[in-house]
Amino acid sequence: MDASNPFLTEWRTPFGLPPFSAIRPDHYRRGFDVALREHEAEIAAIANDPTPPTFENTIEALELAGETLTRVGAVFWNLAGTDSTEDLRAIERDISPVLARHFAAIALNELLFARIAALYENRENLALSGERARLLDLTYKSFLRAGAQLTGADRALFAEMAEQLAELEMKFAQNVLADEENYVMALEEADLAGLSDAAKASAAQIAQDRNVPGAFALTLSRSSVEPFLSYGERRDLREQLFNAWIARGEHAGDTDNRSIIADILDLRRRRAQLLGHRTFADYKLEPTMAGSPSAALDLLDKVWAPARGRAGEERAALQQVADAEGANFRIAAHDWRFYAEKLRLRDYDLDQSALSAFFQLENMIAAAFYCAERLFGLHFMPRPDLPAYHTDVRVFEVLDRDGRHLAIFMGDYYARTGKRSGAWMSNFRGQRKLGGEMRPIVVNVMNFSKPSPGSPALLSLSEVTTLFHEFGHALHGMLSNVVYPSISGTATPTDFVELPSQLYEHWALRPEILQKFALHHETGAPIPQDLIDRVIAARHFNQGFATVEYCGSAYVDFLLHSRLDAPRDVVGAEREILLDIGMPREIAMRHRSPHFSHIFAGDAYAAGYYSYLWSEALDADGFAAFEEAGDIFDPAIAKRLHDFVYSAGNQRDPNEAYRLFRGRKPEFDALLRKKGLARVQA
């Protein structure tokens, strides 16, 4: 063992946190090499065990195997997403196919699968507890889905395609990051007409951080792009920035993702068909709440018609605003946000930039913590003494209602060079009880604009809900209370995993929360009640646009993965899908295919981007339970929510988990009511 490599020694840090300051890039590859050999030996010992298979010597042994590999991978993949460097990208290119090959070999290990299958076939006689029975079922089916029953040349082909996919998905992600890192729009002060002082300060900070000639600059981070598209008065610059934003991954040269996507689609389709599925979508939806492509597509279709109808009404209203100002053009995609803000101000007297003055990042973090305390009895103690991977990262110890340690929570809120765009939750360590109690280390990653020194970070309404959304995921990880690591925390189907996050959004803009935490950053005055009333009155404003841009992406994802062939011209196929569904020309997809990392930088959400809509139907119906009780912190409902959703991992079928929480099956009509689309016609 190499005592100088942190991954190969015991971590004596508080709470077993990674010793971030001691880790160098060259430690990763050596750590992976040793961990892979260790895991191979553990798997061989399980597969070649001469004693008959038992739950303990096979399923539990599998759960405990690969601990070093999990530890190395958790640190590496988290930092590859938040603080990527060329050194890390080189390791990523090197290790991705190696890991794919390693896990394919485990899935295709005939002796290992024979032991798992023997237990599964005898499961009725094993007298297993509910969680154990669930784990056995999931383990057996996961091996089937990974090709365990394939024979002959098909086995080798399946493994080879897994390795190819890993390389392609890694390359896709690196290309998107490169396009985002390499683009900077330098601006003069006059170019920022219409922007708030906070947005100007952010643009100044970007110019300073990126060493851009001139005083101001914008990047392709959403927190940089959307304020300019919403308030920037220079239409030509809005168009230039918007076109760069939607063209990530679509430039001829080294970062072109178009042919990569075609290859990914082809490999996914072929692998699914080797397993006996008609399409990749059929394969992917088999273990989900939806259960089949038809169920997911039915939900999309149910929402699409009224959303498109509402978007048509919104488009006409925006055009009237533009025409009244003397505009001699038809509203285009790069105009929508700009004129929507004018319309919001006219109809609801809501200026989003002025509203942001009440949404200080510090207070919104406190609001998210407060709701968790009221619902689940949690306490968040700042721990600046604990190690973190970047100076921007905040670390908290999380205590339960009895003052016992529950988790470590890290908040990484600001955009920076080397950080992947978007927002997400991840683990440095998951929760488990097998082999001894292990509590999780959870991180939330955002890309909010970093303010200049001495200035507060002010969030938009959408950024506030993003913060609550990702914190809902974090709670799902931190509250996990199961025995087995592979079913803990967020290890659930994608159309259920978004329920805890989207449900938590509901608390963000409740009057009870706004009155307590939405304080003006200069005066400290609470947000006025009449402003809260206007925010609530405008909750359905622009909902046609928001739903259409999301559904456009969901349809493209779903229909690309539902084909019996793989189109070589992916952008052309995207265009045809949007034409067939009647996508309004004035609205762009939320994520176009060449930078759609949800579905092409890995397959977690591939053929599953619909999941956000499915979970939104659940969260609308679920939050109604609190509304019906007349208390958004109702203790009895909060306990059921904790017991059957947030703490339960994947220890039971998610449809049953929802029924136990809500007392019945979900009512999907609640989704249209939530969006204000219940009576809208196409």
CA–CA dist 638, 630 (Å, integer):
13
Do residues 545 and 311 make contact, with C-beta atoms less than 8 angstroms apart? Answer: yes
> How many residues are present in the chain?
682
CA–CA dist 577, 573 (Å, integer):
6
Which tens digits make up the pLDDT trace of 495-554? 999 999 999 999 999 999 999 999 999 999 999 999 999 999 999 999 999 999 999 999
This prediction's pTM = 0.95
Q: Where are the alpha helices (DSSP H) in 275-335?
A: 280-285, 293-324
- Residue 428: pLDDT band by 50, 70, 90 thresholds? very high
| Residue 530, amino acid | D
CA–CA dist 17, 13 (Å, integer):
6
Which tens digits make up the pLDDT trace of 369-403? 999 999 999 999 999 999 999 999 999 999 999 99
Q: How far is CA 279 from CA 391, 434, 559, in A?
A: 46, 37, 10
Q: What is the mean pLDDT of residues 575-600?
A: 97
**Helices and strands of the chain, counted as H and E runs:** 27, 7
For position 124, what pLDDT does the model report?
96
Which tens digits make up the pLDDT trace of 176-205? 999 999 999 999 999 999 999 989 999 999
- The CATH number given to 6-107+109-149 is 1.20.1050
| Residue 402, amino acid | D
3 state DSSP class of 523: coil
CA–CA dist 145, 284 (Å, integer):
9
- Edge-first strand order for the sheet with 441-448 is 379-382, 394-399, 405-414, 441-448, 424-429
HSE, CB side, 13 Å, CA atoms: give it for residue 542. Answer: 22
For position 670, what pLDDT does the model report?
87
Task: Let me know if 189 is a catalytic residue.
Answer: no
3 state DSSP class of 446: strand
Which tens digits make up the pLDDT trace of 590-630? 999 999 999 999 999 999 999 999 999 999 999 999 999 99
For position 56, what pLDDT does the model report?
98
Do residues 222 and 421 make contact, with C-beta atoms less than 8 angstroms apart? Answer: yes
Residue 335 has pLDDT above 60, yes or no: yes
Q: In this structure, what DSSP letter does residue 164 have?
A: H
CA–CA dist 346, 674 (Å, integer):
23
CA–CA dist 223, 568 (Å, integer):
33
If phi > 0 it is left, if psi is from -120 to 50 it is alpha, else beta; for residue 502 that is: alpha
Which tens digits make up the pLDDT trace of 336-375? 999 999 999 999 999 888 899 999 999 999 999 999 999 9
For position 680, what pLDDT does the model report?
57
Domain residue ranges of the chain, discontinuous segments joined by +:
6-107+109-149, 183-246
- Mean residue pLDDT across the chain: 96
| Residue 468, amino acid | F
Report the 10 Å Cβ neighbour count for 44. 13
For position 2, what pLDDT does the model report?
75
The closest of 509, 523, 403 to 459, measured between CA atoms, is 509
Q: What is the mean pLDDT of residues 632-652?
A: 98
Q: What is the mean pLDDT of residues 131-147?
A: 98
Catalytic residue among 60, 63, 163, 470: 470
Tokens of residue 13, six digits: 């840090």
| Residue 275, amino acid | L
Q: How far is CA 624 from CA 458, 613, 641, 662, 679, in A?
A: 30, 17, 13, 10, 19
Residues pairing with 216 in the sheet: 187
Report the 10 Å Cβ neighbour count for 582. 12
- Residue 1: pLDDT band by 50, 70, 90 thresholds? low
For position 461, what pLDDT does the model report?
93
For position 484, what pLDDT does the model report?
98
Do residues 373 and 362 make contact, with C-beta atoms less than 8 angstroms apart? Answer: no
Do residues 371 and 504 make contact, with C-beta atoms less than 8 angstroms apart? Answer: yes
3 state DSSP class of 429: strand
DSSP characters over 208-259: HHTT-SSSEEE-SSHHHHHHHHHH---HHHHHHHHHHHHTTT-SSSTT--HH
Q: Kindly tell me the sign of the dihedral angle through the C-alpha atoms of 479, 484, 486, 492.
A: negative
CA–CA dist 156, 514 (Å, integer):
57
Largest CA distance in the chain: 83
Report the 10 Å Cβ neighbour count for 528. 13
CA–CA dist 470, 425 (Å, integer):
6
Residues pairing with 414 in the sheet: 448
Which tens digits make up the pLDDT trace of 260-305? 999 999 999 999 999 999 999 999 999 999 999 999 999 999 999 9
CA–CA dist 370, 379 (Å, integer):
8
CA–CA dist 83, 87 (Å, integer):
11
The closest of 632, 661, 434, 405 to 516, measured between CA atoms, is 632
Residue 213 has pLDDT above 90, yes or no: no
| Torsions phi, psi for 349 (to 5 deg) | 55, 40
Which tens digits make up the pLDDT trace of 2-47? 778 999 999 999 999 999 999 999 999 999 999 999 999 999 999 9
For position 678, what pLDDT does the model report?
81
3 state DSSP class of 143: helix
If phi > 0 it is left, if psi is from -120 to 50 it is alpha, else beta; for residue 244 that is: alpha
Tokens of residue 244, six digits: 């760069």
For position 214, what pLDDT does the model report?
78
For tokens 């070649």, name the residue: 48
Residue 682 has pLDDT above 60, yes or no: no
